[in-house]
């Protein structure tokens, strides 16, 4: 019995060893030679999100113009909850396009400020990508302001130029001029011209010929953010809407000793006057197209050595060289027959008041018959003394 049991055990052990060998043989046969390294399965790597976000200006950009186009764009996805904020956390106005792929900022930014993006982009693979990045706008060395000669809603005469006067000298005049637009109804031929600096640069726009009465005019000066050169930038935009009144023209022939006011082709005044005596250049009333620029019911006039601080009534300024149309009772006796003034056009008190009340900024005063022409030496509005071909060459563009 004992021997038989031993044989049984031995047979069972032999069978187990054979089974182990068979299993081992299957493993080797399926995976190839173990020494080749191909026996295991490589670990899997998750695919990267497909959404790609780009910004303009680029992340980290500096000295960005506050009026530059600012956008955030995603490829292979859509933008979600996108926002641009300044350092105080204030949201900047913007809008997402219908496709949800481009966010565009809709307002000018501030000078010297840092702006930061936030939000997410959802890719076509349904994976989210965070929106990050920032940029900084330029800090000007100085900010230059501008003043205008015409107010919003004002009605002006047919010779009125549009004047923009800057409080500093402008280096890059072309950059400024590109930011200026004049829109008229009916369409009006005209051009910008840079006149000599007068405590700051100045640019004038005038029509080729007198304005058509009733014309409406819109001036858009998109100057905020414009680089003027030399570290100067535009301080603010300027917009003016105004209109042109009647064609009221003063005809002032010094040889006739009279003055006519012609409104829309009809003579409404024809009065005796006295012009400059002309014994010295300083006393010559300048020939040329003057422009009514100011009115004073009372004005203290001086013209040394002839007189100082003399009170004159109903004074209408027609140039910055001291020429006025005004009342002067002292010359009433020679008005209509002789020219005896120091360059102004003298009227009786009654006539001066009547003209004063009808005079409008921008009305032309056409002086003829004297030996000296109006020029740049006579003040800030001598635009019509410049012929049209020359005027066009005075543009920076």
Active site residues: 326, 344
Peptide linkage before 314 cis (omega within 30 of 0): no
Residue 311: CB atoms within 10 Å: 9
| Long-range interactions of 56-59: CB distance < 8 A, separation 24+ | 57/135, 58/133, 58/135, 59/132, 59/133, 59/134, 59/135
E strand or H helix that includes residue 356: helix 349-358
The C-alpha torsion from 7 through 9 and 12 to 17, rounded to 10°, is -100
Written as six digits, the tokens of 220 are: 């858009």
Residue 102: CB atoms within 10 Å: 15
Taking alpha carbons only, the member of 349, 342, 345 closest to residue 298 is: 349
Q: Where are the beta strands (DSSP E) in 235-356?
A: 238-244, 248-253, 258-263, 266-272, 288-291, 294-303, 307-317, 324-327, 345-347
Q: How far apart are the first and last CA of the chain?
A: 124
Instruction: Please tell me the distance from the alpha carbon of residue 70 to that of residue 64, in angstroms, as a whole number.
Output: 10
**DSSP track, 156-223:** E-TTPPEEEEESS--S-HHHHHHTEEEEEES---EEEEEEPPSSS-EEEEEESSPPPTT-EEEEEE--
């Amino acid at each position: 019995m004992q021997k038989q049991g031993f044989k049984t055990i031995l047979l069972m052990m032999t069978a187990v060893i054979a089974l182990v060998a068979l299993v081992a043989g299957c493993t080797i046969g399926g995976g190839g030679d173990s020494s080749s390294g191909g026996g295991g399965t490589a670990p899997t790597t998750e695919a990267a999100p497909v959404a790609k976000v780009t910004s303009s200006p680029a992340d980290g950009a500096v000295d960005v113009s506050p009026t530059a186009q600012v956008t955030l764009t995603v490829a292979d996805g859509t933008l979600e909850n996108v926002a641009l904020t300044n350092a105080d956390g204030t949201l900047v106005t913007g809008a997402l396009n219908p496709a949800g792929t481009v966010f565009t900022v809709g307002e000018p930014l501030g000078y010297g400020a840092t702006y930061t993006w936030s939000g997410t982009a959802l890719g076509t693979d349904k994976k989210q990508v965070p929106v990050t990045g920032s940029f900084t706008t330029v800090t000007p060395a100085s900010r230059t302001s501008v003043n205008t000669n015409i107010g919003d809603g004002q009605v002006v005469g047919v010779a009125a130029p549009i004047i923009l006067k800057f409080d500093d000298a402008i280096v890059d005049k072309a950059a400024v001029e590109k930011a200026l637009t004049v829109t008229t109804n009916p369409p009006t031929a005209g051009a910008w011209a840079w006149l000599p600096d007068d405590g700051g640069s100045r640019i004038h726009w005038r029509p080729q010929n007198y304005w058509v009465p009733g014309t409406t005019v819109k001036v858009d000066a998109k100057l905020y953010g414009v680089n003027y050169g030399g570290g100067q930038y535009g301080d603010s935009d300027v917009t003016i809407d105004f209109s042109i009144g009647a064609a009221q023209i003063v005809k002032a022939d010094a040889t006739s000793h009279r003055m006519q006011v012609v409104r829309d082709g009809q003579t409404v005044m024809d009065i005796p006057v006295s012009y400059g005596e002309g014994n010295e250049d300083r006393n010559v009333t300048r020939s040329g197209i003057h422009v009514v620029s100011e009115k004073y019911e009372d004005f203290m006039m001086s013209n040394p050595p002839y007189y100082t601080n003399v009170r004159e009534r109903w004074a209408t300024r027609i140039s910055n060289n001291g020429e006025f149309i005004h009342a002067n009772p002292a010359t009433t006796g020679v008005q209509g027959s002789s020219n005896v003034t120091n360059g102004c056009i003298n009227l009786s008190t009654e006539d001066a008041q009547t003209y004063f009340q009808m005079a409008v900024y921008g009305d032309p005063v056409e002086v003829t018959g004297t030996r000296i022409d109006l020029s740049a030496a006579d003040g800030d509005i001598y635009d019509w003394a410049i012929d049209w071909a020359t005027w066009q060459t005075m543009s920076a563009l």
